Copies of this chain bind each other. A is one copy, B any other.
Amino acid sequence: MPRPSQTLLSRAIIARAALDLLDEQGLEALKMRTIADRLGVKGASLYHHVRSKDDLLDAVAELINDEIDLGPLSDPGGPAGIAAYAHGYRGVYLRYPHMIPLVARHRVSSVKALRGYDALLAALVRAGSTPAAAAEAAAAIDNLVLGSALETFTAGFTRQPADYRPDFPALAAALTAADEAPGALAGLDTRGFDLGLRLILAGLTPSA
């Protein structure tokens, strides 16, 4: 079956299929032949549209980054808008936990990313920062968001809070106090993120 009457593949189609597979089965399942299978095609054919697997992974990462909503930075704007943007940013990564190793591979310098930084910096300046201060604040916010997306503080705590008591008393006390719904550790990650974000934003405009 050479050159089909109607073209079956494209970079975008392949990237989408890869993202679906990644989402369903994780990074280990993401093999070129498997992606091809899903598209009713043989593995080697993908290379007419994608330079390498690495290149494909870049396309997938871009697909995800495109889901980040820059709207809140300009729409309502202000500190509340910045906070909304940051939460949305984080939320996108939380929806694609399998992406984490991908994102960490190398920094993306796509146009989308630049537009995001530009919007964030503009929002910070509009909120009262000098450009120099805004640069530092943007770096801090970016760090916080990415760290929060990549690591989920509580993931390392698999035992019941009380079980940490003998060896790690402060940890046991903090975890016990933190999760009102016992055994859930529910919103600690989110609350921690939100705390950090609010403190940074509040610290920018030294009160009113």
Can you name 18 A-B pairs with beta carbons within 8 Å?
Answer: A109-B158, A114-B156, A117-B156, A117-B168, A118-B171, A121-B170, A125-B170, A131-B173, A132-B178, A134-B170, A136-B195, A139-B195, A140-B195, A143-B148, A143-B193, A144-B196, A147-B148, A150-B150
Cβ–Cβ < 8 Å partners of A138 in chain B: 153, 174, 192
Tell yes or no: A4 within 8 A of B by CB: no
Say which one of A6-14, A41-49, A76-84, A99-107 lies at the interface with B.
A99-107
Asked if A178 contacts B107 (CB within 8 A), the reply is no
Closest partner residue, chain B, to A131 (CB atom): B177
The digit string for A110-146, where 1 denotes a CB below 8 A from any CB of B, is 0001110111011001000011101111111111111
Asked if A143 contacts B140 (CB within 8 A), the reply is no
Tell yes or no: A25 within 8 A of B by CB: no
Tell yes or no: A61 within 8 A of B by CB: no
Total interface residues in chain A, CB < 8 Å:
69
Tell yes or no: A175 within 8 A of B by CB: yes
Tell yes or no: A108 within 8 A of B by CB: yes
Tell yes or no: A176 within 8 A of B by CB: yes
Q: Select one of B134, B168, B169, B204 contacting A174, CB under 8 A.
A: B134
